[in-house]
C-alpha cells in the first residue's frame, strides 16, 4: 500500500522533527573523546548516512564506504551514520578483541528496527549468563546429532526442487529462499512444505525480513509498520501451534517441541512463551537470509569458475558412482565432502555475506592504539579481513585451494567467531552440501545477464537474484 499525500506530509513532518531532535542531541552528546580518532562526522544532522546507504547497492557493497576511508584514515576511523556515532575498524587484532568479547568487553549492537522486530527476549539481545543459557538451549537441536532426523526431509525437498529446474530460467535467489525457508519452518515447527499454513508463514516471514533494517517509522504505509504487523500475525500463528501442542493434539519432535518441554520444567532452563516466540523468530531470520545468500553466491561463483566447478563435480560424481543404483544421498556421504567444504568456505570468504559486525563497547578498551570508550558503537569491517592480500594471495580470485591448509586465526569469519559464532553453522553446511550435490550431479547452467550489484540490505545478495538458464547434464 502506497502512502497517501496526507501520509507523505505526516512523514515529512516527522522526519523534520526527528532531524531537529537529532541535531539537538548531537550537539549535546558529541563525544569529545572521539577527537583522538581520525575520520569525518560528515554533514550536520545526517553525517555520512547518504554515502553509507548509497554504497549498499554497488558491486562492492558497503566495503566501498569503508575502503575509501581506510585509505584516508587508516584501519580505525570514526563516522556519524544513521543517527549513530560509529567507529569502524578492521584486521585480525580488532577481530579477536570484538568477536571474543573477553570479560564482557562488548555486546551485540542491533539497529532500533532490528531490536523491535526480534523482540527483547531474542538471543541476539542477551548478554552474559542469559546469552549462554539461551544459546545452550538453541544449540542442542542444531547440533550434528540433532540434525540427523531432518536429513531425509532436506534431501527429499532438494530433489523435488531440482526436478523442476530442467530446461528453464531460474532465479536462483528465489529458489534458494523458498528451499531454506521450508527447511527452517519444518525444523522449527514441523510445517509441511505446501499448504495454507506454509503460505501464510512464508508471507508473514517475507514482510518481517524486509522490515529488519528499515527506517524506524512505525506508521501505516512504512516497511517497519508492515513488519511489526506481520510479526503480530506470526506470533498469533505460533500461539495457536503452542496451544495445540500443550493439550497433546499436535505432538512433534521439533525445535518448538524441545522449547515447550523446557517451558514445562521446574529447573533454571524454563522459558516463557515470549522467550520462545522471540527466539523462534530470531532463528527464522538468522537461518534463512544468510544461507539463501550463500547458495546464490555459490551458484554464481561456480558458473564463473569452471575449473572449481569441474573439481567439485568430480567429487560428487565419485560419491554417486559408489552408491547402489536408484539410491540417494546418505548422511555419511554428506559428511565426507572435503572439496565441497573448501568451496563453501571460499564462497563465504569471497562474498562476505555479512560485511560487518556491529558491537557496543561495554567498557573502555583499546584497538590499534586508539582508545574506545564505553557505550560507543564499534564496527568490524569483515570484507577487508577476507580480502587481505597478506593472508589471501590474489584475494579477488575464487580459489577453494586456499583452504587446503589451516588459516591464521581470525582471518576467516565465514560463520563469525567467539561466543556469538553462528549457532546454525551445522544446519547451513548440511543444507548447502545437499543442494550442491543434486545441482552438480544433474545440471549445467549459464547466467542470463551480467550484473554484479548487490541488494541494499544488511545481508549481501545479488540484486538481480541471479537468473540462470538450466540444462540437464546428460
Output the pLDDT for position 279: 87
Backbone phi, psi, residue 470, to 5°? -110, 135
pLDDT in tens, 248-292: 766 677 788 877 776 555 555 677 888 889 988 888 888 888 999
Contact in structure between 410 and 89 (CB atoms under 8 Å): no
pLDDT at 6 (0 to 100): 41
* Position 17 pLDDT exceeds 70: no
Q: How far is Cα 264 from Cα 274, in angstroms, rounded to an integer?
A: 14
Residue 441 among known ligand-binding residues: no
What was the pLDDT predicted at 10? 46
Determine the pLDDT at residue 306.
96
Instruction: Give dist(CA 392, CA 415) in Å, integer.
Output: 18
Which grid coordinates are listed for 279?
527466539
Q: What are 74-99's pLDDT values in tens digits?
A: 999 999 887 778 899 998 888 888 88
- How much is the pLDDT for 375? 86
291 or 217, higher pLDDT? 291
Q: Which residues fall within 8 angstroms of residue 409, CB to CB, at 6 or more apart?
A: 92, 96
Q: CA triplet 307, 179, 204: central angle to 5 degrees?
A: 140
Task: Give the residue with greater pLDDT, 30 vs 383.
Answer: 383
DSSP-derived secondary structure for 209-252: HHHTTS-S--STTSHHHHHHHHHHHHHHHHHHHHHHHHTTSS--
Across the range 403-417, mean pLDDT stands at 89
Is residue 31 predicted with pLDDT exceeding 70?
no
| CA–CA distance, 36 with 26 (Å, rounded to integer) | 18
102-134 pLDDT, tens digit each: 656 777 777 778 888 888 888 888 777 787 888
- The pLDDT, as a whole number, for residue 28 is 43
Give 101's pLDDT tier (boundaries 50, 70, 90).
Answer: low
Cell of 316: 560428487
Amino acid at each position: 500500500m502506497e502512502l497517501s499525500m496526507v501520509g507523505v506530509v505526516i512523514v515529512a513532518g516527522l522526519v523534520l522533527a526527528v532531524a531537529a531532535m537529532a541535531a539537538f542531541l548531537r550537539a549535546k552528546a558529541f563525544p569529545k573523546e572521539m577527537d583522538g580518532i581520525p575520520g569525518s562526522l560528515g554533514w550536520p544532522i545526517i553525517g555520512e548516512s547518504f554515502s553509507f546507504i548509497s554504497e549498499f547497492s554497488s558491486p562492492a557493497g558497503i566495503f566501498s564506504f569503508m575502503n575509501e576511508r581506510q585509505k584516508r584514515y587508516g584501519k580505525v576511523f570514526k563516522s556519524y551514520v544513521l543517527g549513530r556515532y560509529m567507529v569502524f575498524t578492521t584486521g585480525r587484532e580488532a577481530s579477536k578483541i570484538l568477536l571474543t568479547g573477553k570479560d564482557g568487553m562488548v555486546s551485540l549492537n542491533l539497529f532500533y528496527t532490528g531490536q523491535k522486530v526480534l523482540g527483547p527476549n531474542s538471543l541476539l539481545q542477551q548478554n552474559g549468563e542469559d546469552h549462554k543459557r539461551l544459546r545452550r538451549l538453541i544449540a542442542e537441536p542444531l547440533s550434528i546429532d540433532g540434525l540427523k532426523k531432518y536429513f531425509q526431509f532436506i534431501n527429499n525437498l532438494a530433489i523435488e526442487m531440482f526436478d523442476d529446474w530442467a530446461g528453464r530460467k531460474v532465479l536462483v535467489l528465489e529458489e534458494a529462499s523458498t528451499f531454506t525457508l521450508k527447511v527452517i519452518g519444518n525444523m522449527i515447527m514441523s510445517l509441511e512444505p505446501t499448504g495454507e499454513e506454509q503460505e501464510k508463514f512464508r508471507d508473514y516471514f517475507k514482510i518481517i525480513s524486509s522490515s529488519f533494517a528499515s527506517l524506524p517509522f512505525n506508521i501505516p504505509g512504512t516497511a517497519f509498520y508492515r513488519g511489526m504487523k506481520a510479526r503480530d500475525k506470526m506470533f498469533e500463528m505460533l500461539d495457536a501451534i503452542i496451544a495445540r501442542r500443550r493439550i497433546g493434539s499436535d505432538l512433534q519432535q521439533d525445535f518448538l517441541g524441545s522449547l515447550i518441554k523446557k517451558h514445562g520444567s521446574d529447573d533454571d532452563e524454563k522459558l516463557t512463551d515470549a522467550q520462545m516466540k522471540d527466539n523462534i523468530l530470531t532463528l527464522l531470520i538468522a537461518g534463512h537470509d544468510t544461507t539463501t545468500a550463500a547458495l546464490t553466491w555459490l551458484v554464481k561463483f561456480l558458473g564463473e569458475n569452471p575449473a572449481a566447478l569441474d573439481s567439485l563435480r568430480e567429487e560428487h560424481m565419485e560419491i554417486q558412482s559408489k552408491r547402489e543404483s536408484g539410491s540417494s544421498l546418505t548422511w555419511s556421504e554428506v559428511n565426507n565432502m572435503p572439496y565441497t567444504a573448501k568451496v563453501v568456505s571460499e564462497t563465504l570468504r569471497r562474498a562476505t555475506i555479512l560485511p560487518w559486525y556491529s558491537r557496543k563497547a561495554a567498557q573502555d578498551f583499546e584497538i590499534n592504539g586508539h582508545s574506545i570508550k564505553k557505550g560507543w558503537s564499534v564496527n568490524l569491517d569483515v570484507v577487508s579481513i577476507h580480502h587481505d592480500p597478506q593472508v589471501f594471495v590474489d584475494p579477488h580470485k575464487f580459489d577453494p585451494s586456499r583452504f587446503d591448509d589451516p588459516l591464521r586465526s581470525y582471518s576467516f569469519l565465514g560463520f563469525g567467531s567467539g561466543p556469538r559464532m553462528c549457532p546454525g553453522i551445522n544446519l547451513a553446511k548440511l543444507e548447502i552440501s545437499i543442494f550442491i550435490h543434486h545441482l552438480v550431479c544433474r545440471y549445467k547452467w549459464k547466467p542470463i545477464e551480467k550484473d554484479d550489484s548487490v541488494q541494499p540490505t544488511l545481508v549481501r545478495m545479488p540484486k538481480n537474484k541471479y537468473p540462470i538458464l538450466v540444462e540437464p547434464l546428460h
